[in-house]
Amino acid sequence: MLARIFRPAKTAMQSGKAKTREWILEFEPAAARALDPLMGWTSSTDMNGQVRLRFDSKEEAIAYAETHGIAFRLHDPQEAPVILKAYADNFAYNRKQPWTH
């Protein structure tokens, strides 16, 4: 039973950083999902796939996994570079690309 600890990235549908500050511990799937032939639903016999624990810090998530004897893999987040932009840069004298309509 292997778990992964990570901080989720922001979705493509949001411009803010909501729900990206907390750390999540979730279990890797132990078995493949099966397709129901009649209804077409996917099902799984792995109940740990439904567990998703949220923590305020990385240290809390690691401590929880170690105290409960859960093997885990830690995924550190990649921070996006901060690009400072200003509206006045569109009209700068030393603009890299010519401004045209």
The parent domain of residue 28 ranges over 2-10+19-91
Tens digits of residue pLDDT in 3-22: 999 999 888 887 788 888 99
Between residues 95 and 62, the one the model is more confident about: 62
**DSSP symbols for 58-83:** HHHHHHHHHHTT-EEEEEPPPPPPP-
CATH of the domain at 31: 3.30.160.190
Answer whether residue 33 is part of any domain. Answer: yes
Q: What's the domain count of the chain?
A: 1
Q: Is the pTM of this model over 0.75?
A: no
Between residues 67 and 42, the one the model is more confident about: 67
Query: What pLDDT is stored for residue 62 in this prediction?
Result: 96
Answer whether residue 57 is part of any domain. Answer: yes
Answer whether residue 96 is part of any domain. Answer: no
Question: Residue 47 pairs with which residues in a beta bridge?
Answer: none
